[in-house]
Structure 1
Amino acid sequence: MTSEERLGWRLTVLVPGVLAFLSMIGPFSIDTPFPAFAQMGRELPATAGQLQLVVTVYLAAFAAMSVLHGPISDAVGRRPVMVVSMAVYVAASIACAFAPNLVLLLVGRAFQGLSAGGATIVSRTVIRDLFEGATAQRLMSRVAVIFGIAPAIGPIIGGLVLQLGDWPLIFVFQAVLGVALVLAVVLLLPETHPRERRTSLRVGEVLGGLAAVARRPAFHRLAWSTALIFGAQFLYIGGAAIFVVDVLGQGELDFWKLFVPMIGCMMLGSWLCGRAAGRITARRLTSIGCTTSFVGGVVGVLVAASPAATDLPWAVVGISLVALGNGITYPTMQLLLLDLFPGRLGAVVSMSSFLALILNAVTAVAVTPYLGSALGFATAALVGVGAGQLCWAWHCAIEDRDCAVADVHAREPVELL
């Protein structure tokens, strides 16, 4: 009997399934409206640049609140934060559906971003609350597989919803999904952070916990490594409306041509990560994933510089390899981050999410709109994966140095008094 079988079906299948759907609401909410941008531009009215704010405002709000979701859950428990956040998300989605102009739509999107992190961020801590070692890695990988579906099915579902009605129906669908997740948390998810392990909700305690995380160099090396490498993939997610329609010349129902191979590869990587649990060390597995992403970045530039730059499927081969590496790396990197501060899991997830979201928000408004070509997207992605690879190599070098120093001290003779 495996360890998962001994733990029971509810903890190893049902709970990770609920957590996966909670974690996917954040990325799902980013790109579901993409197919409706043309219709929204005509009816609101708004330019393509103004509509990019639909992504940027959501990400900025998500990032701003992400700093607090985790520490609050450390203090009051996981379930209350997720339930309240998803209830606000439902209300914000309804507000978006009835927005008569771009300004009010952006207000609704801001509240969607402020609330979505309560599910996406806090859900990551639950696996670590319950499990350790190879079991935690396997279950985190299962969550990552379903989490990875969100960016792929978001634009596809958005395009299908548009066949049933106008663009507000997309936000009605998001509201219905939010209601379903509230019910799932209330009915299926146990509270995994008992009172005796909770921290104080005082402002000083919350800020102190975040500061303690932010002061640790190892946290930054790991957090920036995963943020930069995933940020390379996010260039294509956040800029899908530009890349698919303007660069590749595809239509509103063709977003799957980017998202299916890219997210399919990420899911494959997450599955491989789960299969490797207990067989390959976390460090070696992460190195394999980072290298795979870097190779994907190089392949992307080579293809984009060739005559096949905008031909499918060649145009998405490079970013699909980047996504494969992300899938291998992400679950293990999350556990490495969480293990740095076992008593402040929420604070760790919040700070790492904040860094990644700020990077993605800045990229969405300051980089993505100006790429304009397949080579522009590929070059920016290569810069991201290269920087992430350097952060990981730096972390490994520091670990090796510390181990060598510890080994020298261990061999020194002890002077007896």
Structure 2
Amino acid sequence: MHPQAPHLWRGPRWALAVLLALLGMVGPFSIDTYLPAFPAISQALAATPVEMQQTLSAYLFAFAFMTLFHGSLSDSFGRRPVVLWGLAVFTLASLGCALAQNIGQLVAFRALQGLSAGAGIVVSRAVIRDLFPPTQAQRVMSQVTIFFGVAPAIAPMVGGWLSVHLGWHSVFWFLTGVGVLLWLANWRLLPESLPEQNRQSLHLGDLMRGYWELGTSPRFLLLALASGVPFNGMFLYVLSAPAFLGDLLGLSPTQFFWFFMTTIAGIMGGAWASGRLAGRIAPKRQIRHGFVIMLVVALLNLGANLLFKAHAAWAMWPIGIFSFGWALMVPVVTLLVLDLYPQRRGMASSLQAFVGSMANGLVAGVVAPLVMHSTVLLALASLLMMCVGLLSWIYLHHRWPEIGRTATAA
């Protein structure tokens, strides 16, 4: 924690949470905002469905790759430079997407977006732990989760409106404007939370030793799986929304917002409860509560879809409750990850984001297309992904029972 932390941010804690959450929202917004514009882009650029899929894959793989390095760079150069350079490159890449004349150019600039968009979410987590002690950090992380959770739900609605009324280019002009505003806000407001004396060497040997230390740590890997994979139990339904809501539940596009509102409410409610519980119960108990909620609702969701034909009156509620359980436990798990290696918080945040990004990419590219046309398969896949996180946490708790016993235990 920065020795001058109380003096680096004098504003209300929620204002810093909003600033950091907006940084974290850049990645999800870049993924989801342009999805409704797929048909218009495909027609305008004479792109095949495979080529359109490449615009998404290029972004996701570039995003996952670069998340390995954003945190390490921030450990060496400081948090502010990495955030500001990341936002600058993202803004230029979004401008390139808006001006793209063919599908090849769009794929290239989408990859550049992916390389830069992860800086915000990776570095913002490290900033929180740099500035706040454990209990306060959990509250701020919960507030960030509230705002961050809104992004995947509202981004398709924003992108759909822009695409329909202003054309597909407007989606990327919108992202360009977001990049400019965030750069200005962070240049003006974001404090440098990593003291000079705590910065790490950027020598290749030191970096490799750090990556090896974290990458071979069972505790780190299990915590990363516990936080990153269950998210996809909810994200799977977001990715499958057109088929799930339109084909299976028979909703019109104008009715899709009910699903997104349910998901947003679950995330916001769980994150709010997580912040309220900070310092009142042991972190491991809070994590357990979150997993119990996700397990029970995932089992009920699978059972209901096996026994009954899915109906909009009840089929969306389990995803909202699942989201509540995930948001209840993920701020705590994230802080446990960051506290495993206090001198390399940026690198730990990078590797945690990398695990989550790879899981997201696998679900988007492989799992969702296989299961999106069956409510039973969707429910089963959601349950299985939650179980990966649950089993990771159970083994971790059994092997290292001291982790999460107190707010400072790691």
Mark yes or no: TM-score above 0.5. yes
Give the gaps of 5 or more residues in structure 2. 405-410
Aligned residue number for residue 138 of structure 2 = 137
Aligned residue number for residue 105 of structure 1 = 106
Distance 1:363 1:161, change over 3 A: same
Contact 2:230–2:385 under 8 Å retained in 1: yes
Aligned residue number for residue 386 of structure 1 = 387
Aligned residue number for residue 159 of structure 2 = 158
Q: Deviations over 1:120-178 (max 9, x none)?
A: 21111101001112111111111111111111110111122124311111111011001
Aligned residue number for residue 168 of structure 2 = 167
Q: Quote how far apart the aligned CAs of 1:55 are.
A: 3.0
Q: Quote how far apart the aligned CAs of 1:48 are.
A: 4.8
Distance 1:90 1:188, change over 3 A: same
Pick which of 39-48 and 384-393 moved more: 39-48
Contact 1:219–1:340 under 8 Å retained in 2: yes
Contact 2:153–2:238 under 8 Å retained in 1: no
Q: Distance in 1 between matches of 2:339 and 2:387?
A: 25
Aligned residue number for residue 259 of structure 1 = 260
Q: Distance in 1 between matches of 2:77 and 2:6?
A: 31
Distance 1:171 1:131, change over 3 A: same
Pick which of 252-261 and 20-29 moved more: 252-261
Distance 1:351 1:8, change over 3 A: closer
- Runs of 4+ aligned residues of structure 1 deviating over 6 Å after TM superposition are 4-8
Q: Quote how far apart the aligned CAs of 1:11 are.
A: 5.6
Contact 1:97–1:172 under 8 Å retained in 2: yes
Q: Distance in 2 between matches of 1:37 and 1:81?
A: 31
Pick which of 316-325 and 255-264 moved more: 255-264
Q: Which amino acid aligns with 2:324?
A: L
Q: Quote how far apart the aligned CAs of 1:46 are.
A: 4.1
Structure 2 counterpart SS, 1:10: coil
Q: Deviations over 1:309-366 (max 9, x none)?
A: 1x22422222222211110011111001111001100010111111111111122112
Structure 2 counterpart SS, 1:199: coil
Aligned residue number for residue 408 of structure 1 = none
Contact 1:78–1:192 under 8 Å retained in 2: yes
Aligned residue number for residue 318 of structure 1 = 318
Q: Distance in 1 between matches of 2:335 and 2:26?
A: 21
Q: Deviations over 1:39-76 (max 9, x none)?
A: 23333334555534433322111100000000000000
Contact 2:9–2:191 under 8 Å retained in 1: no
User: Quick check: 1:83 aligned with 2:80?
Assistant: no
Distance 1:207 1:200, change over 3 A: same
Q: Deviations over 1:173-221 (max 9, x none)?
A: 0110011110111001111111111001122222221211112111111
Contact 1:89–1:111 under 8 Å retained in 2: yes
Aligned residue number for residue 368 of structure 2 = 368
Structure 2 counterpart SS, 1:385: helix
Contact 2:248–2:374 under 8 Å retained in 1: yes
Q: Deviations over 1:102-122 (max 9, x none)?
A: 332222211111100111211
Structure 2 counterpart SS, 1:97: helix
Q: Deviations over 1:343-391 (max 9, x none)?
A: 1000101111111111111221122112122222111111101121111
Q: Quote how far apart the aligned CAs of 1:249 are.
A: 4.3
Q: Quote how far apart the aligned CAs of 1:96 are.
A: 1.4
Structure 1 counterpart SS, 2:201: coil
Pick which of 37-46 and 132-141 moved more: 37-46
Contact 1:35–1:155 under 8 Å retained in 2: yes
Structure 2 length-normalised TM: 0.91
Aligned residue number for residue 337 of structure 2 = 337
Distance 1:337 1:54, change over 3 A: same
Contact 1:35–1:241 under 8 Å retained in 2: no
User: Quick check: 1:302 aligned with 2:332?
Assistant: no
Q: Quote how far apart the aligned CAs of 1:34 are.
A: 2.1
Q: Distance in 2 between matches of 1:303 and 1:53?
A: 36
Q: Which amino acid aligns with 2:37?
A: A
Q: Distance in 1 between matches of 2:285 and 2:91?
A: 42
Distance 1:106 1:376, change over 3 A: farther
Distance 1:312 1:184, change over 3 A: same
Contact 1:159–1:253 under 8 Å retained in 2: no
**Equivalence map 1:53-92=2 (5 Å):** 53-92=54-93
Percent identity between matched residues is: 37
Aligned residue number for residue 407 of structure 2 = none
How many residue pairs align between the two structures? 399
Contact 1:155–1:255 under 8 Å retained in 2: no
Contact 2:294–2:321 under 8 Å retained in 1: yes
Contact 1:49–1:369 under 8 Å retained in 2: no
Distance 1:6 1:303, change over 3 A: farther
Q: Distance in 2 between matches of 1:348 and 1:241?
A: 35
**Equivalence map 1:21-60=2 (5 Å):** 21-48=22-49, 50-60=51-61
Aligned residue number for residue 203 of structure 2 = 202
Give me the CA root mean square deviation.
2.2
Contact 1:289–1:328 under 8 Å retained in 2: yes
Contact 2:240–2:368 under 8 Å retained in 1: yes
Contact 1:225–1:387 under 8 Å retained in 2: yes
Q: Which amino acid aligns with 1:16?
A: A
Q: Which amino acid aligns with 1:219?
A: F
Structure 2 counterpart SS, 1:339: helix
Give the gaps of 5 or more residues in structure 1. 404-417
**Equivalence map 1:14-25=2 (5 Å):** 14-25=15-26
Aligned residue number for residue 357 of structure 1 = 357
Q: Distance in 2 between matches of 1:97 and 1:308?
A: 43
